[in-house]
Structure 1
Amino acid sequence: MDATCRLTGEFTLRSGQVSNEYFDKYLFEADPQLLARVAREVAQLLPGDAELLGGLEMGGIPIATAVSQLVGIPVVFVRKKAKEYGTAKLAEGPAFDGRRIVLIEDVITTGGAVRDATNALRSAGAIVETVVCAIDRSPAGENPLADVELEVRAVLTKAELDAARAAAQA
């Protein structure tokens, strides 16, 4: 996955941070074999009490959909903000009030999008305690979502990707 999606250059992240590398999740999400591998790994990290998967717009949606097909748990597609027309929903799919949603995200750095989704879903009655991501690029040993009491489970961390890359170059 690292060879497919790690780009180098100068990139401004959602958080506003500038980084010399970027994990372009769409490069692995668009590859059926890589997406299937990521989905299998995410599925193994799900807590046993998950009632719904919450795929975050936009990168979390393909992963959540693939995981849903593997484990049979329905998906709620979570928007960055409630749409301003039609049903004006924050999340599309089954009703989630009072239900336990496990959020699915592609890459987490500071957790801004996950934090926003967590707060909005909780305000609408959902129980949100865990997020599973493909790549956690936050500093090692830190939980960027501790302030909203959200457990982060990652398929891979940036430290693990860096170590694998260094070993491959040695």
Structure 2
Amino acid sequence: MTTTDDSLAADIDACCRLTGEFTLRSGQVSSEYFDKYLFESDPLLLGRVAREMVQLVPQDTELLGGLELGGVPIATMVSAITGTPALFVRKHAKEYGTAKLAEGPPFEGRRVTLIEDVITTGGAVRDATRALREGGAIVEVVVCAIDRSPAGENPLADVGLEIRPVLTKADLDAARNG
């Protein structure tokens, strides 16, 4: 476990693990689902996750890129703790007004660490990484609350992105069975 908060995995698991039949963003069907909004809407639990994430953010980070929607509250909290500006990254550039992909400070030529809630296949992170890089950002690391990808696999290796999770599915399973 990468967290220094010994009870975080058990508390997240108890709060967020749902059972049933769920279709994930990837199209995969799962018998369980981690409803991340349950911890993200709890200020105390969100604060604990954010404090753990702070330890995983690379020192040379210039902007924290919170991915729409789940990464935004976490990035905001990490930003408040660290003083590092946040960037709110949309799934698609808006088609009106400023037509921006990301709201916040300019990111061209800057080192952006992505902040995400849950990664399974990495689809949303992959899309955001490509779009930000096309806009000139330097994106090499994503820090996430929960990495649900298979143990020992990096689903974002194809875009050269390092995943730094607070918790893995194995951590949550161990907390549940522990």
The interval holding the TM-score normalised by the smaller chain is over 0.9
Task: For 2:49, give the aligned amino acid.
Answer: V
Match of 1:106 in 2: 117
Task: For 2:43, give the aligned amino acid.
Answer: P
Match of 1:39 in 2: 50
Aligned positions, number: 167
1:61 and 2:72 equivalent?
Answer: yes
2: CA distance, partners of 1:75 / 1:69: 9
Structure 2 matches for 1:1-170, cutoff 5 A?
1-167=12-178
Match of 2:6 in 1: none
TM-score scaled by length of structure 2: 0.93
2: CA distance, partners of 1:130 / 1:10: 31
Tell me the CA shift for residue 60 of structure 1: 0.1
SS at match of 2:51: helix
2: CA distance, partners of 1:22 / 1:156: 15
1: CA distance, partners of 2:75 / 2:155: 21
Tell me the CA shift for residue 164 of structure 1: 1.2
Unaligned stretches of 5+ residues in structure 2 = 1-11
SS at match of 2:55: helix
2: CA distance, partners of 1:156 / 1:110: 16
Tell me the CA shift for residue 7 of structure 1: 0.5
2: CA distance, partners of 1:66 / 1:163: 27
2: CA distance, partners of 1:161 / 1:59: 19
Unaligned stretches of 5+ residues in structure 1 = none
Tell me the CA shift for residue 124 of structure 1: 0.3
SS at match of 2:145: strand
TM-score scaled by length of structure 1: 0.98
What fraction of aligned residue pairs are identical, expressed as a percent?
79
SS at match of 1:45: coil
1: CA distance, partners of 2:22 / 2:29: 6
1: CA distance, partners of 2:152 / 2:177: 20
SS at match of 2:105: coil
1: CA distance, partners of 2:81 / 2:165: 18
Structure of higher RCO (CA pairs closer than 8 Å, 6+ residues apart) = 2
SS at match of 2:144: strand
